Amino acid sequence: MKDLVLIEGLHVDAVIGVYEWEKKILQNLVFDLEMEHDNRPAAETDDLSKTLDYEAISNFIAKYCSDNTFELIETLAERLCADLMHLFDIESVRMTLRKPGAVPSAQSVGVKIYRTR
Ligand SMILES: Nc1nc2c(c(=O)[nH]1)N=C([C@H](O)[C@@H](O)CO)CN2
């Protein structure tokens, strides 16, 4: 098992959805990420620059969601994972993206994807 850096339950507001009324409102999305990265260099040197900075990545996700609008959560998850892997030293990422308000009778709905270099 390789090392992981985690982000769990990251709440972000976004304009997202297939229906016209959804394009005029903000809806809550919840992200969980498992990002593969060798944590030993950071642990050996106690150096943030050698690991995946979960704060920087969380901030990037929030800004990405405020700067971009999509219809499908599949599109958001796919493009966001591609950008994250391009910008950060992530070997692979498992992203769960939930849209809790989308189906009132469900606790949550969403997608889960796994992408690797
Ligand atoms: N697999 C998906 N199904 C649906 C999506 C989606 O993004 N992926 N989106 C919608 C609507 O936007 C919905 O969230 C409105 O409540 C429907 N199904």
Domain range summary for the chain, segments of one domain joined by +: 4-116
Q: What is the pLDDT of residue 61?
A: 98
Which DSSP symbol is given to 76?
A: H
CA of 57 to the centre of ligand 1 (A): 25
Position 1 pLDDT exceeds 90: no
Catalytic residue among 2, 24, 99, 112: 99
pLDDT tens per residue across span 32-46 = 999 999 999 999 999
pLDDT given at position 69:
98
The DSSP secondary-structure symbol of 105 reads T
Give the predicted TM-score (pTM) of the model: 0.96
Beta bridge partners of 33: 7, 95
Does the structure show a pLDDT above 80 at 86?
A: yes
Residues, the chain, total? 117
Strands of 4-14's sheet in order across: 4-14, 27-36, 92-98, 110-116
Residue 16 and residue 22 in contact, taking contact as beta carbons nearer than 8 Å: yes
Whether residue 60 has pLDDT greater than 70: yes
CB of 22 shorter than 6 A to ligand 1: yes
Averaged pLDDT, 16-20: 98
In the chain, pLDDT over 70 holds for what percent of residues? 99
ipTM: 0.97
Is 78 near ligand 1, meaning CB less than 6 Å away?
no
- The average pLDDT across 97-102 equals 97
**Cα distance between residue 108 and residue 115, in whole Å:** 23
Query: How is residue 88 written in tokens?
Result: 């950060």
CATH topology of domain 4-116: GTP Cyclohydrolase I, domain 2 (3.30.1130)
Pocket test for ligand 1, best of 20, 30, 73, 105 (most atoms within 8 A of CB): 73
* 99 given a catalytic annotation: yes
For the chain, percent of residues with pLDDT exceeding 90: 97
Cα of 29 to ligand 1 centre, how many Å? 12
Closest residue by Cα to atom 13, ligand 1, is 102
d(CA 102, CA 100): 6
CB 53 within 8 A of CB 2: no
